[in-house]
């Protein structure tokens, strides 16, 4: 989390912006505060791409996806503005480190903790897929280790199973090293592609290394299509499950429900000491004290005792 920059807006819609949470290909994400004091994550589409019909269609699809997928594995949609620029959406703010941040700070997870995390993420995919949606960009940066369990974020390239892919010809969606072979080669993604990404994410979790190495993105993608995943030092039964998840042929991968069954967890992830320490420590650092102290009324806030203006429900994207 970083401080706002001079060029950043101080407010989006009804939300006072407090800090920068991150940035992606679609836009900038800010920590915001609602008139009633609720913390939210506000994603604002970049000005330079807001005039591109494809980019705007993708952003509207993200809003539709986040609205559709409701469960304990995803941050819930709070508000959105899709009619006029700046285009933005606000979701509940989930305090906690990303899986990548946690591994970079504390090293690989122990096998038992990793298996519980795998089962929880697979359960999240069951819920996502039940709504007819594939995530298409599952990776350590898009998993938040919240105290109650992991949360899947950034559905910017997610799509319904019957929707047309909006990427340009010759360009695959997803992240090199986590995108499945069929995504890299044909830009075809279904639930099995999410399972591949799940396996690659777990490999990173237990090794602390990129699953298919580093280097030029095209080279990393080539390795994902043609070479073995890096599982040096991983316990044999866990390595076998990961290898099944990242099988080159999508038909050979287990579905998320099978992954859950093979994990055979017997206790809650939230009670796992290692996971709990990572999540709670990360949550404590998630909102700096200086940001939390920013509670003074800002221009546009309702006066004390005045009810905040009621936001209209976000319009359903076309």
Catalytic residues: 137
- Any idea how long the chain is? 318
Are 28 and 46 contacting, i.e. CB atoms less than 8 angstroms apart?
yes
The alpha carbon dihedral of 69, 19, 2, 284 has a sign of: negative
Nearest of 248, 234, 229, 277 to residue 96 by alpha carbon: 277
Q: Helix axis angle, 236-245 relative to 256-263, nearest 10°?
A: 180
Q: Rounded to whole angstroms, how far apart are CA atoms 61 and 67?
A: 10
If DSSP states are collapsed to H, E and C, what string results for 97-157?
A: CEHHHHHHHHCCCCHHHHHHHHHHHHHHHHHHHHCCEECCCCCHHHEEEECCEEEECCCCC
User: Is residue 299 packed enough to be buried (19+ CB in 10 Å), middle (13-18) or exposed (0-12)?
Assistant: exposed
Helix (H, G, I), strand (E, B) or coil at 41: strand
Q: What is the rounded (10 degree) CA torsion for 60, 175, 20, 168?
A: -40
Span between the terminal Cα atoms of the chain, in Å = 33
Q: Rounded to whole angstroms, how far apart are CA atoms 243 and 250?
A: 12
């Amino acid at each position: 989390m970083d401080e706002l920059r001079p060029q950043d807006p101080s407010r989006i819609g009804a939300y006072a912006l407090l800090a920068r949470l991150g940035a992606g290909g679609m836009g900038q994400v800010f920590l915001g505060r609602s008139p009633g004091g609720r913390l939210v994550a506000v994603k604002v589409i970049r000005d330079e791409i807001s005039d591109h019909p494809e980019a705007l269609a993708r952003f509207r699809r993200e809003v539709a996806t986040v609205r559709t997928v409701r469960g304990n594995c995803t941050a819930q949609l709070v508000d959105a503005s899709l009619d006029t620029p700046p285009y933005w959406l606000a979701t509940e703010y989930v305090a906690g480190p990303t899986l990548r941040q946690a591994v970079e700070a504390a090293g690989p997870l122990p096998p038992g903790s990793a298996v519980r995390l795998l089962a929880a993420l697979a359960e999240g995919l069951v819920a996502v897929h039940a709504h007819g949606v594939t995530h298409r960009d599952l990776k350590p940066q898009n998993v938040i280790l919240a105290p109650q369990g992991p949360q899947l974020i950034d559905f910017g390239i997610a799509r319904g199973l019957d929707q047309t892919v909006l990427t340009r010809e010759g360009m695959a969606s997803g992240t090199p090293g986590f995108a499945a072979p069929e995504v890299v080669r044909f830009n075809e993604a279904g639930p099995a592609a999410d399972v591949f990404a799940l396996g690659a994410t777990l490999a990173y979790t237990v090794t602390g290394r990129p699953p298919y190495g580093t280097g030029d993105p095209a080279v990393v993608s080539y390795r994902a299509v043609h070479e073995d995943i890096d599982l040096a030092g991983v316990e044999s039964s866990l390595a076998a499950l990961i290898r099944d998840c990242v099988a080159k042929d999508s038909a050979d991968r287990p579905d998320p429900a099978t992954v859950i069954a093979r994990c055979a967890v017997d206790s809650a992830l939230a009670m796992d000491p290692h996971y709990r320490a990572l999540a709670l420590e990360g949550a404590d650092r998630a909102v700096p004290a200086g940001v939390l102290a920013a509670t003074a009324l800002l221009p546009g806030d309702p006066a004390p005792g005045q009810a905040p203006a009621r936001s209209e429900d976000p319009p359903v994207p076309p």
